[in-house]
Chain A
Amino acid sequence: MAGKPVRPVNAIDQTRRMLSLVTYLRERPGARVEDVARAFGITEDELVSDLDVLPMCGTSFRGGDLLDIDTDGERIWWHNPAALGADAAEPLRLAADEATALLVAARAVATLPGLRESDRQALLRATAKVETSAGEAAGASSRLSVTFESEGGVFADVDRAISERRRLWIRYYSPARDEVTEREIDPIRLVSVGHTYVEAWCRRSEARRTFRLDRVAEIRILDEPSAPPEVELRDLSEGLVQPAAEDPEVVVEVGPGGRWVAEYYPHDSADELPDGGLRITLRTPDPASLRRLALRLGRDGRIVSPSALADSARQAAREALAAYDGMEAAGTRGGAETVTGSGARPGAGAVDGQHDRQERAL
């Protein structure tokens, strides 16, 4: 599975791991390579490279006692566990960064509304124990926090369907087409990257699709078994939206007020323009879905190509305007010098980036 943490070779990480390894091995003569690697969350190769370094280490000022640790590839033997003295191999206190990394992650996972209640309780108990044990080192962990978002009821149903291997029926909102469609899906896994998504085999399109839980309008667990074809799980660390090379290209030019487009839409390039704007080139399987973007941008940007997309946005705007014809006060503002935005929000004066937008890019 794709869930192993990213772990580049790093002397600090390796040293920290070897210090724990020494403590661990001391208690477990003849430990199996496979078991130790699993307990430490590392590959057997990584473990073996640690075992290559350990025999070069020791408290040599005492007269040259190096750790006599070796392995036949299956089991690990430590022939002189006394080399370190009685208490030099005790478990070590958590560092501030370690406590922060573990506690912030644990608190974040505990915010997932769809987490099983028994798992949440276990996590909260564990978090409290780690806080106590870490002592002062836990203090800095309050300077970092993460909130996951997900729709509780939908999440629980998807989670149950996955563990019981059952098919789901959903009504799903697609912002690209502004429509709600019904489909049956065979769920594969739940992923939380900011928002929470279910990756599934969609029976309607006979393809793998990712659905954002807060766009599921309605959900039912069906009696039919779920039978997604064997698919290789994608590595999602580069983002959920990964346009294909053959997708049509769209070019958008935005002014300074439209630079957020580059933050929300995965793109191939974003070139600076002399007025402080950007020329953004992106690819999408369905350019028509970007009409919404063109409409939202208003005076902050325009679609350069394809021209059919630019035309459809203009046409939509004209149609929309027609509805206001003759309506009182429709034309009282709109000069270039008028101030847009209402300024009526409490406390809004104290923030930067007031033109932020709700995230709808995915």
Chain B
Amino acid sequence: MAIAKAERLMNLALCLLGTRRPLSKRELRESVEAYLEAGSDDSFNRMFERDKDDLRELGLVIETVESLDGEIGYLARRDSNRLPPITLDAEEAAALGLAAKVWQQARLAGAASGALQKLRAAGLPEDVDPYEPHSALEPRIPVHEAAFEPLMLACRDRRPVVFDYRKANAAQPEPRHVEPWALECWRGHWYLAGFDRDRGAERVFRLSRITGKVRSRGSRFTAPVPDVVTVRETVASWAGETADRSALIRLRTGAGYPLRAKATGVRELGDGWDELEIPYGHGLDAWLVEFGPDVVVLEPAELRADVVDRLRAVAKG
């Protein structure tokens, strides 16, 4: 039976961590049983390169040293791999325990547990069981979008990407060439901010509208990355939360609680109707139409026309 990959990785890691001098590829091949069984040089080389990448992925700093006679050697120096001293009290440990389990994405869930395990090995207090809810709260970060992981890695490594993107009101997706800056989750949905190469400007993308695969480009970023990326403000303005004007509506008594909650002024008219002043931002027309005959728009005329327009489309249906 083939030797399990975890066993092979573990042996390579222990060899690299345990040595005080660089070990050559030949020495490593003789030290790790799975490599002895690797067969051809080619298959060993491929396996070895992949394993090094995997160990770096889990945080091991592996140095490559060239000796005087030109041979390459490898080692993981303890100075560069040792966790700097960190002391956390029981409360802090419990708080991190809660945080470590919020990811619903396999890679990040694994990484968060890995972080906690490293801290545990370094003496993180365990008298409080991190898997018992400390508060009654169970926060979860949902990740349903397939584009999430490749984009996360591209943001991390600052690699340009290309993907097909279907705009909210477009029938067909279009390829977009993007230098990805940051991902943000707001109200349970993920968004990407980055530099759109074709449009030569910053753009925000919703991950659920990416169709097909995210592919990496080998090139580097061409535009500077801003210090602060504000995905949230952009998305909030799409959602009509940055109202810059106000509107006057009539609302049937007892109806439209969320409109009342947002109102800046309410006046009872006494005939089964109230008059409300509400913030007027993007998307208000579509929202008001949801309330059907319980809402009448008074001002401004532009909003009233938009609402009437929408109602006519439904009435014709």
Contact = CB atoms under 8 A, between A and B. Distances in A.
29 contacts: A7-B106, A12-B57, A15-B58, A20-B118, A21-B117, A56-B3, A56-B11, A61-B30, A88-B18, A91-B118, A98-B112, A100-B111, A144-B183, A145-B182, A147-B232, A149-B187, A163-B136, A194-B186, A292-B290, A294-B314, A303-B317, A317-B315, A317-B317, A323-B293, A328-B301, A340-B306, A340-B309, A352-B165, A359-B189
B212 interface: no
Given A12-B9, A102-B115, A129 B137 contact: no
Contact of B10 (A53, A192, A318): A53
B237 A351 contact: yes
A12 B140 contact: no
Contacts of A60: 11, 15, 31-33
Given A20-B121, A126-B93, A352 B167 contact: yes
A317 to B, nearest CB: 4
Nearest to A120: B95
A57 B7 contact: yes
Given A95-B111, A123-B98, A310-B317, 16 more contacts: A5-B109, A91-B83, A100-B108, A106-B99, A122-B92, A129-B86, A140-B156, A143-B152, A144-B183, A302-B317, A320-B311, A330-B304, A340-B309, A341-B306, A344-B244, A353-B206
A19 B141 contact: no
B68 interface: no
Given A98-B114, A109-B98, A256-B171, A350 B140 contact: no
A5 B113 contact: yes
A328 to B, nearest CB: 8
Contact of A11 (B54, B83, B97, B130): B54
A132 to B, nearest CB: 7
Interface stretch (A38-46, A73-81, A243-251, A280-288): A38-46
Contacts of A326: none
A41 B130 contact: yes
Closest 8 CB pairs of A and B: A276-B171, A194-B188, A95-B59, A91-B122, A316-B292, A61-B31, A98-B115, A162-B136
Contacts of B166: 259
A112 B167 CA distance: 31
A242 to B, nearest CB: 14
A163 B11 CA distance: 47
Contacts of B168: 257, 259-260, 352-356
Given A11-B4, A88-B18, A133 B10 contact: no
Nearest to A86: B78
A274 to B, nearest CB: 9
A189 interface: yes
Indicate the member of A91, A114, A132, A180 with the most B CB atoms within 10 Å.
A91
Given A38-B131, A257-B168, A105 B289 contact: no
Contacts of B133: 1, 3, 189
Contacts of A322: 293
Contact of B182 (A135, A144, A334): A144
Interface residues of B, number: 160
Given A18-B10, A189-B136, A192-B140, A345 B237 contact: yes
Interface stretch (B41-49, B215-223, B264-272, B280-288): B280-288
A107 to B, nearest CB: 8
B11 A58 contact: yes
Contact of A321 (B84, B96, B201, B311): B311
A91 B305 contact: no
Interface in A148-196: 148-149, 158-159, 162-163, 173, 175, 178-180, 187, 189-195
Contact of B103 (A105, A116, A257, A321): A105
Contact of A125 (B33, B92, B186): B92
B204 A352 contact: yes
Contacts of A38: 126, 129, 131
Interface string A60-86: 111000000000000000000000110
B1 interface: no
A146 B11 contact: no
A108 B139 contact: yes
B179 to A, nearest CB: 12
B292 A324 contact: no
B38 interface: no
A101 B183 contact: no
A5 B112 contact: yes
Contacts of A94: 59, 83, 115, 118
Contacts of A97: 57, 59, 107-108, 111, 156
A295 B289 contact: yes
Contacts of A146: 141, 184-185
Given A105-B102, A299-B310, A324 B296 contact: yes
Contacts of A195: 187-188
Nearest to B172: A276
B278 to A, nearest CB: 13
A221 to B, nearest CB: 13
Contacts of A260: 168
Contacts of A268: none
B240 interface: yes
A85 B20 CA distance: 11
B257 A173 contact: yes
A234 to B, nearest CB: 12
Contacts of A205: none
B161 interface: no
